[in-house]
Amino acid sequence: MEKTLNELAQYLGGTLVGDGEARITGLAGLDEAVEGQITFLANPKYAGKVSDTRASAVVLPPGAERYGRNAIQVANPYLAFAKLLTLFHVRSLPVKGVCEGAVVGSGVIMGTDVTVHPGACIMDGVKLGNRATVFPGAVLYEGVEIGDDTVIHANVTIRERCRIGSRVIVHSGTVIGSDGFGYAPDDASWYKIPQIGIVVIEDDVEVGANVAIDRAALNVTLIRRGTKIDNLTQIAHNCVIGENCMIVSQVGISGSTTIGSHVTLAGQVGVAGHIHIGDNTMIGGKSGVTGSIPANGMFSGIPAIPHREWLRAMGTVPRLPEMKKNISALEKRIQELEEKLEQLSSK
């Protein structure tokens, strides 16, 4: 693909500075870009590299020094670069229909331009939306519903009656709708509580590889539209995850927890069950959330506390050995003074 810089500026809705007829055939980072490519400046600390890049053009924020380079000025260069990556490199999946070697049950309803690859298993009563794609090894249990333009990658399992929205991407190895972890004590053993609910994933969600999202015990485990879930995440039964959340790798969310919209859970965060996390909240990596968290805050630590308080607390950690030594010296000094006072009072 080849585009003029003027075409790219129009595509991004940015302001062109320089030669609009410059031809762009690809894109790369500031250090790697060569003539014919476009690069971007998103972090001001790398601004000096603009003078040295060999790229034919740079995407940068308004007011940034362009060192005489052709440029497209946009408010969010990182987002603009993502859009350029999509333009130059992302292609629609080819439509292949139901391939030989796929297993399709009875009563399956398929929209137009559906692709089911060899080795995929589509059980009875499944509904596939227009342009849905199911890759090899994926298994869709009875009554599963898949929306338009949704991609189910290899070896994904979606259990019975779960519903997946439109433009959803589910990466390899993920299991949606596995039984929630529910057992009733029965003397010295455990009695399994049937998990008869489902998982509902709304539109424009992306689920990473090897994620487990458990079905609800009775009603719905719900992932609302626009949320992005990284690899190796566990979401337990009856959870509700709000819109446009970012759930980073190795997060574990216990059952019946409600998470608001625009919440970010950094890597390895653990969330206790039956609590609420408010909208627009950020939880730092490796934190343990043991109780409900209000909206519009940043929290870190185990248990999670306001981030600034956690920073102050962590600032004392390197000094703990010295503090212990000083406290021991003070204790010894106090003991010596008490002994002297006791000797004086006895005279």
Cα distance from N-terminal residue to C-terminal residue, the chain: 100
Strand, helix or coil for residue 190 = strand
CB 228 within 8 Å of CB 251:
no
Residue type at position 26: G
Catalytic residue among 117, 153, 171, 237: 237
Question: Beta-strand (E) ranges in 61-219?
Answer: 71-73, 97-98, 103-104, 109-110, 115-116, 121-122, 127-128, 133-134, 139-140, 145-146, 151-152, 157-158, 163-164, 169-170, 175-178, 183-186, 189-192, 198-201, 206-207, 212-214
CB 103 within 8 Å of CB 120:
yes
Q: What is the β-pairing status of strands 183-186 and 189-192?
A: antiparallel
- Would you call 171 a catalytic residue per the annotation? no
Strand, helix or coil for residue 88 = helix
Looking at the DSSP bridge assignments, the partners of residue 110 are 128
Question: How many other β-carbons are positioned within 10 Å of the β-carbon of residue 16?
Answer: 20
CB 270 within 8 Å of CB 213:
no
* CA–CA dist 219, 224 (Å, integer): 15
Closest CA to 117 of 155, 170, 147, 173: 155
Active site residues: 237
